[in-house]
Amino acid sequence: MNPKHYETAKVISNSHAYGVYSMKLEAPQVAADSKPGQFVMVYLGSDKHLLPRPISLYDVDKAAGTITLDYIVPGAGTKIISEWPVGHNLQILGPLGNGFDLENLGERVALVGGGIGIAPLYFLAKELNGLGIKTDVYLGFRQEIPRHISCFETLAQNIKVATEDGRGGNRGYITDFLPRNPTYDTILSCGPIPMLKALARYAHSHNIPCQVSVEERMACGLGACKGCVVKTLVGYQLCCQNGPVFKSDEIFLPTAKTATQKLH
Amino acid sequence: MNRNLSVNLAGVNLKNPIATASGTFGSGREYSQFVDLNHLGAVTVKGISHEPWEGNPPHRIAETHGGMLNAIGLQNPGAKDFIAYELPFLRQFDTKIIVNLCGRDIDDYIAVTEDFADTKIDIFELNISCPNVKTGLSMGTDSKAAEAVTKAVVARANAPVIVKLSPNVTDIVSIAKACEAGGAAGISLINSVLGMKIDIRKKMPLLGNTMGGLSGPAIKPIALRMVYQVARNVDLPILGMGGIMNWEDAIEFIMAGATAVAVGMANFTNPCVTMDILEGIENYMEQEGITDINQLRGIAW
């Protein structure tokens, strides 16, 4: 079993820019055992919101014993996190999940991220850089381009950024800006389901191995409750334990369902 | 001062009254990095069926005010797999093993009970109350069906059988009495309360199975009331559960008449919570000058 730690962490910084929050924590035990694509459970310390929130590792500094979590605030639970001041103590559990498989990636790797899905790619890009693997980074956003994407510049050979409204130069979905004749040996990705679906089709048509990081509602984070399932070729697998990273040709990415059409 | 924490649940001696609730603690392995399983009175494993069950489509989890909904649908690898891979792990620890049995009909319950014929389990917890599988609830909400399935399982089980009851009934005492008539050695209650949540952006139920079981502190007063009612009216030991988050909650259940208590959702809020509860109970006994935990059982009647 991979080492996991239930650790008291301390907030070093917790700030907000362009729709993305970034929180740096002193958490030496979790930092020491983490690898890219893994996540931590963040306990809210609330009597109302009792489930921890799974948040992926944006950056890890093993020497300094710190981890950085990038997150957005879609609900009341993450709002609590966003209000923690410097010096606040909290409980975290991690590192959890499998992380990206970094064996046999080949020489040329594309990293594709969408929205808050870029969060695990920075730690990943750093690690790949350390392994001497060349990466091209593709990042897609709805509108706002987070300021800290500049941190990819020293790590990647090429960076391409697209937004749905054209801000920043390239208008459209980031998957539309992938090369027509790719020479990548591997694609590693995290982002919204529609992006991952487009990417999975792209990778499949060009016969490139592709790993995608997905999310699902979780309770325990440890594989005990069987709550966070995703459908795969071999049936339901646990996002927290078998994932959150899956091979794109082994996972069924669901089509979003809504009842909005009943209104019209 | 020497304090006794051990209790007798259905003829089995537990070193202390703290157990885990089925479905929240896996088979113990998942939490063994954080909790010394040797310090638990018992581990109740996630529900086991005769054949592997796939469970319900996602989403399976929704947080609610002071609680959560789950619609797992008893996903499990089946009894054979459990006996081969999980049971040996749990056996390494000095704790009692409670196996939660589930099925779709009486034959299914009989089959899974017989799967355990060559194993040594401490207690079986007959799950006739899961709100997330089609037949689960019907067995636990009808006295005749509850008595019949209890009788069938008790006749074949090689360990005491406690029956886990649903709160989704009008008269919990009559169901408990039916289980007693069927030969149950104890009662486990409560299972989760049927509930639901709607995603107002997608404009549809959030859970893949539409409805789910509510657990956590939101249901504690209901659970406590039912433990109290059953304890006063049925002469069987009770494994009490439902929203126990801390030692104070655990003491309340014991005072309502529970012999032992099971901790469920609280494991998600704090993976080490069972040990915190145990320590809190010991401190309380010291403060109150109580030498034997059994002195507290039913004291609030």
pLDDT tens for residues B73-132?
999 999 999 999 999 999 999 999 999 999 999 999 999 999 999 999 999 999 998 776
Best mutation target among B70, B269, B272, B275 (most A Cβ atoms within 10 Å) is: B269
In which residue are the tokens 């649940």 written? B9
In which residue are the tokens 């005491």 written? B160
When computed from its CA atoms, the radius of gyration of chain A, rounded to whole angstroms, is 18
Residue A60's pLDDT is what?
Answer: 97
The verdict on a CB contact (< 8 Å) between A259 and B204 is yes
Residue A2 pLDDT more than 60? yes
CB A143 within 8 A of CB A167: yes
Structure tokens at A155: 């790590």
The ipTM (two decimal places) reads: 0.94
Spell out a b/e string for A60-99, using b for 16 or more CB atoms within 10 Å of the CB, else e. Answer: beeeeebbbbbbebeeebbebbeebeeeeebbbbbbbbbb
- The residue-averaged pLDDT of B56-71 equals 96
Nearest CA-CA distance, residue A74 and chain B, Å: 12
In a domain, B68, yes or no: no
Model confidence over A228-237: pLDDT tens digits?
999 999 999 9
Identity of the residue in A3, A51, A260 whose CB atom sits nearest the CB atom of B268: A51
Residues in chain A with CB shorter than 8 Å from the CB of B67 are 50
The verdict on a CB contact (< 8 Å) between A50 and B61 is no
Domain positions in chain A: 5-96, 108-247
Q: Identify the closest residue of chain A to B199 by CA–CA distance.
A: A258
Domains in chain B: how many in total?
Answer: 1
**Alpha helix segments (H runs only) across chain A:** 28-33, 76-82, 119-130, 193-205
CATH 3.30.565.10 fits A108-247, yes or no: no
- The residue-averaged pLDDT of A41-50 equals 97
User: Phi and psi (nearest 5°) for A149?
Assistant: -65, -15
Q: Does B201 contact A at CB distance below 8 Å?
A: yes
Best mutation target among A30, A51, A216, A239 (most B Cβ atoms within 10 Å) is: A51
The verdict on a CB contact (< 8 Å) between B24 and A220 is yes
A5-96 has which fold? Elongation Factor Tu (Ef-tu); domain 3 (2.40.30)
CB A227 within 8 A of CB B60: yes
Spell out a b/e string for B230-265, using b for 16 or more CB atoms within 10 Å of the CB, else e. Answer: bbeebebbbbbbbbbbebebbbbbbbbbbbbbbbbb
Q: Which structural domain range is residue B171 located in?
A: 7-55+73-193+214-296
Residues in chain B with CB shorter than 8 Å from the CB of A242 are none
Name the residue type at position A125.
Answer: A
Element (H, E) at B7: strand B7-9
In a domain, B199, yes or no: no
Q: Count other C-beta atoms under 10 Å from residue A169's C-beta.
A: 10
Residues in chain A with CB shorter than 8 Å from the CB of B25 are 224
CB B242 within 8 A of CB B94: no
In a domain, B65, yes or no: no
In a domain, B301, yes or no: no
Q: Identify the closest residue of chain B to A75 by CA–CA distance.
A: B63
CB B57 within 8 A of CB A228: no
* Peptide bond just before A244 cis, omega within 30 deg: yes
Which is higher by pLDDT, A72 or B129?
Answer: A72
Nearest CA-CA distance, residue B101 and chain A, Å: 16
**Alpha helix segments (H runs only) across A42-192:** 76-82, 119-130
% of chain A exceeding 70 in pLDDT? 98
SS3 B160: coil
Whole-prediction pTM value? 0.95
Q: What CATH number is associated with residue B276?
A: 3.20.20.70
- The residue-averaged pLDDT of B201-213 equals 94
The residues of B assigned a catalytic role are: 130
CB A30 within 8 A of CB A5: yes
Best mutation target among B24, B59, B63, B209 (most A Cβ atoms within 10 Å) is: B63
Model confidence over A107-155: pLDDT tens digits?
999 999 999 999 999 999 999 999 999 899 999 998 888 777 888 888 9
CB A55 within 8 A of CB A38: no
Name the residue type at position A155.
Answer: L
The verdict on a CB contact (< 8 Å) between B31 and A222 is yes
What is the number of alpha carbons within 13 Å of residue A211 lying toward its C-beta?
Answer: 25
Q: Count other C-beta atoms under 10 Å from residue B196's C-beta.
A: 16
Residue B98's pLDDT is what?
Answer: 98
